[in-house]
Structure formats: structure tokens, C-alpha cells
Amino acid sequence: MKMNAAIGTLLMALVFGPCPARASVDINYHGTLVADACQLSTNSAEQVVTFPDIAVSAFKRHPRTAPKKFVLTLLECDLTAGNLVNVTFNGPESREQPGTFAMTQGNSKGVSIAIESENGEAVKPSVAMRPVTLMQGSNELRFRAYIQGKDYTAIKEGAFSSSVNFVLEYE
């Protein structure tokens, strides 16, 4: 009889497969909800600033090109969450022209990207700018970018591009 029970258990295991093993595992989730004073417009999140073709000889007379304007638009600003914003632009700094952004692609030489605020304050790579006072509602932070080539003899023609990101910190 014991033999029949053991054979029956063995047959059931073969027919129905092994019994699943169970384990109890806890998954813990953590995070922080923050209150940003403003929302960044989706049109400001990723921008492309395109410069026209620039003659190398133009740098003989002027160390920089005409500026190209761009805007960071902040929407639905709630001043109870902060009334100041610090903007920091991050990207590789040019070794040849400190304080400007290096070209990250292309074969041109001797030029870099320089950025300044609407009122002419130079933007330095990875250095927070002076805080800007926000207004309730929408705000526009206006900037200008230009190509800079201080040493005409070091400039070599070719394509160029650079990638710079920005961080907004509210106070």
C-alpha cells in the first residue's frame, strides 16, 4: 500500500509538473516631490541655433560673428515656490578661448561658442549666472550666442557644432 501511494505521488508529479516554489520579496520605492517655481516651455527644452556660413576672413575685422538670439520661456511661474532663478549653462570649455564653449564636432579650428544674456553678461561654462527675478505667470530669459575667433591666424575653415545644456535653480 505504501508502495502504491509513493508511485501515485510520483506519477502525479510527472503528470502535473513540479509544485512551484514561493518566495516573498518586498520592493521599496523612494523619491522626492519638489515644487518648481515655473514650468519650462517645451519649445525651450531642446533648441537648435543655426549660424549661416561664415567667411574665415570675417574674423580679421571682428573677433565674433553677429549674434543669434534664443529664449528660455518659463511658464506658470508661482512665486510662492521661489521668485529667483539661476541659470547655469554646462558644456565643454574651450582650451584656446577660456570662458567660451568648445566645439564638440566638426573639423573647424580656432573658434568657439560664446553666450551672453540679453544685457551683455557673459555666460561662463558651468558657472551660475546672476539670479533673475521672476514675475508671476510667464517669463522669458533672452540670450545671444555667437561664434568667437580671437586669433585669426589660428582659424581653419570647416564644419562645427557644440552641445550645451542648461540647469534652472529656483530660490
Please check whether residue 74 lies inside any domain of the structure: yes
Assess if residue 20 is contained within a domain: no
pTM of the predicted model, to two decimals? 0.77
Residue 23 covered by a domain: no
The pLDDT, as a whole number, for residue 46 is 85
Residue 143, domain member (yes or no): yes
Q: What is the pLDDT of residue 15?
A: 52
Q: Range of 81's domain?
A: 39-170
Residue 163 lies in a domain: yes
Which amino acid, one-letter code, is at 156?
Answer: K
Does a structural domain hold residue 24?
Answer: no
Distance between CA atoms of 21 and 19, rounded to whole angstroms? 6
The tens-digit pLDDT sequence of the chain (171 residues) is 444 444 555 445 555 555 566 666 777 787 776 667 899 998 888 889 999 999 999 999 999 999 999 999 999 999 988 899 999 999 999 999 999 999 999 999 999 999 999 999 999 999 999 999 999 999 999 999 999 999 989 999 999 999 999 999 998
Q: Are 47 and 41 in contact (CB under 8 A)?
A: no
Whichever domain contains 85, its CATH number is: 2.60.40.1090
Q: Domain tally for the chain?
A: 1
Is residue 92 in some structural domain?
yes
Residue 10's pLDDT is: 47
Helix and strand totals (H; E) in the chain: 3, 10
**Cα 52 from Cα 24, distance rounded (Å):** 63
Half-sphere exposure of 90 (CA within 13 A, CB side): 5
Are 134 and 51 spatial neighbours (Cβ–Cβ below 8 Å)?
A: no
Is residue 132 a part of any domain in this protein? yes
